[in-house]
Structures are given as C-alpha cells and as structure tokens.
Amino acid sequence: MPAAAVLLGTLALFALGYRFYSVYLAKRVYALEPSFVTPAHAYNDGVDFVPTNKHIVLAHHFISVAGAAPIVGPAIAVFWGWGPALLWVVLGTIFAAGAHDFGSIAVSVRHKGRSIGTLAGDVISRRARVLFLLIIFFLVTMVNAVFAIVVAGLLEQHPAAVLPTAVTLPLAIAVGQIVYRKRTAALIPSLIALVTLYACIPLGQLMPITLDPVAEATGISSTVLWILILFLYAYIASRLPVWMLLQPRDYINQHQLVVALVVIAAGVLVGMNTIAAPAFRDVPADSPSIFPLLFVTIACGAVSGFHSLVASGTTSKQIDKETDSRYVGYMAALGEGSLALASILACTAGVMLFSGNQGIEWSSLYATWGDAGADPQGMFVDGVAGFASNLGIPESTAQVFGALIIVSFAVTTLDTAVRLKRYILQEMSLLAASRFESGSSANRAFRGFSRNLSLTTLVAVALPFGLAMVPGDFALGTLWVLFGTTNQLTAGLALAVIAVWVAKRGRNPIVVVIPLVFLLFMTVWALIEQLIGFLDTGSALDMFLLAPLDTIILVLALWMIVEAFVALRDTFRGTADPIDPSSETDQVVAEGGTVVGGRKDGQDRDEAAVKDRPEEEK
C-alpha cells in the first residue's frame, strides 16, 4: 500500500469530520451560544482564568494533550498490522475523540470551568464526584510517571537534543513577555523563537549534553538524574501563570508540530514509498490478543481521557467565546489523530528508509510483543529520519529533530498534568473539609492544605516520582498498558458525564452514548485481563503494586459505571433531578482556593474588559 494514499485519504476524512460532524455536535448536541459569558471573563484572575485568542488556546490544549502518547501508542500497536491501528485512529478520532474533547470543554465552560471530576457530582451524583476524582488522581499520577521515564530515556539516548530542549524555556518566557506585557500579536515572536530553536539543533550536535559525569560522581544513574530534573522543572513550571510559560511554549510547539507533520508528509509524497508492514498480521502464538488491547494501547490518537482533564482543567478557563469550544476541542482531536497517523507511517514505512534498518525485514523489528514495546519512540525517531532523508536532510539532524518533537510535547504534558493534579488535590481537600464541622481542626487542616500551593504541588510531584523510581523497566510495557487502560476508562466516564448533561438539557445523547459504551466495555475487559495476568506472574512488583492498583481502579470504575447508567436511565425516564441552575452562577474556587464572584456579578466588568483588550487577544 502506498504511504501517500493512506496519508491523503486519512486527512480527507478528518477534514470531512470537522466540516460536517463537528458542526452537528455544536448545533444539535451541545447547543453552543455565542453570547454566553465564559468563565475566562467571569472569573478573570490573570493566572488561570484568562480570556485568550482561540488559536493560542488551541495551541495550549493540543500541545498539552499531545505528549508522547499519540506517538508511542500507535508505534506499539502496529505490531498487529497497520490496518487495525489506522482504522481505530480514524474512527476513534472522528466519532469518539471529537465528541469527547469538544464536549468536555463545552460542559466545563457551562459550569464555571470546573474539572470533569467535579462535574460528575453536579451532573450524575455526589458519589460520582468522589469516585471520578479518585480515578483521575490515579490516571494523572501514571501520566507523569510514564512520561518522565520516556523523556529521560530520550534525553539519555539523544544528548544532542538536550540543548535545543533547554533553549525552549527562555524562548517561551520571552515570547510570553512580549505578547502579554506589550500586548502584541503572538505569531511573529513565536515564529522567530521557532527558527532560533531549530538553529540550536546543530549546536546541540556540536555540544551534546550528558549527565554521565555527574552519574559517575554521585553513583546515581543518569536516567534517575534526568527524572529528578524533569520533576523539579514540573514543580516550578506548574506554579507559574499560564501566560508566562505554558501558553507561549505551547504556541511555539504548535508551530513545531506543523513543521514536523509537513516534513513527514513531504517525505511521504516525495519518496512515494510503500508501507513495508502487513495490513493485518499473524502474530506469534504467545502474543496478547488484539481485543481488547488495541483499544487501550492506542489511547491518545484515537480517544483519551487525559484530554478531558486538560479540557476542563486549564483549557475551559481560557475560552473567550463559547463557540470557540468547537474549534479548540474538535480541531485538537484531529491534530492528535494526525500525529498518530504520522507515527503509524513512520513505524511502517519511514523506519525502513533509515540506514540502520535497510536490508532487513520489517517483521524482524516487531518479532515479538516485547520487541514492539522495547523502544517505540526510537522507531518513530528513525522513521522521521527516514522520511527526512527523502528531502535531503541528514539522518543525524533528523533524529535530533524527531527526538525534540517527542521531548517537547511530553515535557509540556508533565507541566500541565502536575498543574491538573494540584487542582484535583485542592478539590479533594475541600470536599474532605466539607465533611467536618466548620471551624473544626480537621476542617481547617484540609482547607489549609488546599490553599498551600507549595505543599499541594509538592505532593502532586512526589507521588509520580515515587512510581517512576520503582525498580524495573516497565514504563513502556506493563505500566504503559495500565496507563492506557485507565486513560480510556477516564474517557468513557467523561463521556458518561457529557451524555447525562446533554440528555438533561433535552438533547439526544446517542452520538455520545455509543462511544461511551464501547470504551467502557473494552477498558473493563482490559482491566480484568491485566489483573489476571498480574496475579499469574508471581512477580513481587506485579503482585504487590500493579495488581492492587489495577484492583482499586477496577472497583472504582465499576462503581462509577453503575452511578452513570442509573443517572442516564433516570434521565431517559424523566425521573432524574434537573441540573441545578445555580451551578452556572454560583461561586468557584480559583487559584490557591480563593473564592471569586459568580458570572452575573462580574458580567459588566468583563464586557468592558473585552472592549479594552487588543484585537489579537480577542
């Protein structure tokens, strides 16, 4: 099969999905209103709630959710053949991820920018809120642990990528200062920063940075040192206002992603290479079954619950107009699918153009399931280098470029995930405080914890760091599948919240219910299979860490599913309580637990603020 045909055909389907299906969702399912005053205006605090140009919000949202997952997942899943992987990416992106990402933003915007976990309490039941927050807590912990290990491995394997990665931070801060202090457009400064970033790639090749001398002096492995540095960075970055680092870096990375996709697409079209992998493959007898593992191995890139956390955690707080939710949510889902498509092509066609793989069979690279999960990000990097060679770009430079793509996206996800985890800890602390009498020592302790940004952020960083430090190389093996399962489970539960919300507003939720049922069925199946596998191995790690973790997530999931479907049943029967109108005009807890006024109180002030802002911010 020509790789160019797969590329062009998939992109055409994505374009049709945005042109027609996203419009249907906006008008018939989510019923967006241009006049609705969004939380970004109602609670504008200059830190988290900031009305922002929709293109910048798209950059933040997309780069925050992209990470390494839409690259790594498909790079592993082509083990079963490129056909099933591509089919799930296309259908999942258009019909599941589009509805999920778009809907998560829309629901959160309608409810003061609250997280999807808190919304479960407003829409489904109070018990659902607690259950969902706990599931999200486990998911974000695994996201940070897995991505930190992946990034640390890449920086260790490609020391030439360290300098460009480090330069990204001061460049992003400079862009943020120019855009938000001088109130100028972001496009030109971010493009200049991107050119500067790429100019540092040859410098990185001339001056590769490695931690080996420090590792030898301290007796700590370089991988552990990189993980320490990454979590220290995440702690600091997640404390900064979004306009200072998060938004400008995401805008730079959005341009970088466009360049990466252009390089890959141009390499495909110029080379007119064929896909070396079979569409459907007879895998070895001891390999895991394609059902249900395909649908949890490819999470990001088809549909991902982590997106609902970003959508309702940071993105909804920056939406300028409610109608921007369609552009930001659905377009980001398509971008994620495009990145997954690029990974599939890189690992089935481009990787065979790489000089180190020429003259061998593709099947030898994916001989076993263990081989598929051994170095998927390396497969992608080599694939990008192979396609770039069609354009005359040296392989060594292209490898640094490919590694920089993964590292940039994954580090952004680390920052965002730590920030989201801090929100979750604050919400859980305030919920716990409400269980005790006002003024009691327990009430004051929980409220004090929720307001202590240093302590909540430290806890948010410490837990995934501890998981990353567990002995054994399981980041892209067992832990990746458990991460993928929890990720897809969260997507299904987010769709449950969206479906109940849509139904209670008198709209037909069937287009949300279909992917909801499919995802919950596949993920619960995968959790049960994984639990049996953990118990059968006899490994101490599996028996005493992963099996209990799997069991906790499975119990929480089953309980949450019961709560969601009871709410759906009651809604269809007409016996469910309507959504409390005060949930759109009540108070909201903002940065550091500060209580700020409701939407109606601040409406006049924020309408005046909109008039005073420069055109680029509008």
Please state which of the ranges 347-361, 484-498, 569-583 shows the lowest mean pLDDT: 569-583
Query: Which residues are registered as beta bridge partners of 2?
Result: 274
| pLDDT winner (highest mean) among 92-101, 213-222, 290-299, 486-495 | 92-101
Tell me the per-residue pLDDT of 536-548, one tens digit each, with 9 for 90 and over: 877 777 788 778 8
Tell me the per-residue pLDDT of 233-267, one tens digit each, with 9 for 90 and over: 999 988 888 778 877 887 788 788 889 889 999 99
| Dist. CA 145–CA 488, nearest whole Å | 17
DSSP element (H, E) containing 596: strand 595-596
CB burial string 188-210: b at 16+ within 10 A, e below: ebbeebbebbbebbeebbeeeee
How would residue 519 be classed by pLDDT, with cut points 50, 70 and 90? Answer: very high
How would residue 614 be classed by pLDDT, with cut points 50, 70 and 90? Answer: very low
Does residue 202 carry a pLDDT above 70?
A: yes
Neighbours of 157 (CB within 10 A): 14
Please state which of the ranges 125-129, 191-195, 464-468 shows the lowest mean pLDDT: 125-129
Whole-number pLDDT of residue 542: 74
> Which superfamily does CATH assign the domain made up of 3-612 to?
Amino acid/polyamine transporter I (1.20.1740.10)
| Dist. CA 172–CA 241, nearest whole Å | 13
Q: Which two tokens stand for residue 217?
A: 């002096």
Q: Which of 356, 364, 398, 512 is nearest to 25 (CA)?
A: 512
Whole-number pLDDT of residue 612: 35
First to last CA, the chain: 45
Whole-number pLDDT of residue 472: 55
Q: For 324-344, what is the mean pLDDT? A: 95
| Secondary structure (DSSP) of 547-591 | HHHHHHHHHHHHHHHHHHHHHHHHHHHT-SPPPPGGGGTS-EE-G
| Dist. CA 171–CA 280, nearest whole Å | 45
Q: For 287-291, what is the mean pLDDT? A: 90
Domain definitions of the chain by residue range: 3-612
Three state DSSP letters for 190-236:
HHHHHHHHHHHHHHHHHCCCCCHHHHHHHCCCHHHHHHHHHHHHHHH
| Dist. CA 139–CA 464, nearest whole Å | 10
Tell me the per-residue pLDDT of 14-53, one tens digit each, with 9 for 90 and over: 999 999 999 999 999 999 999 999 999 999 988 778 898 8
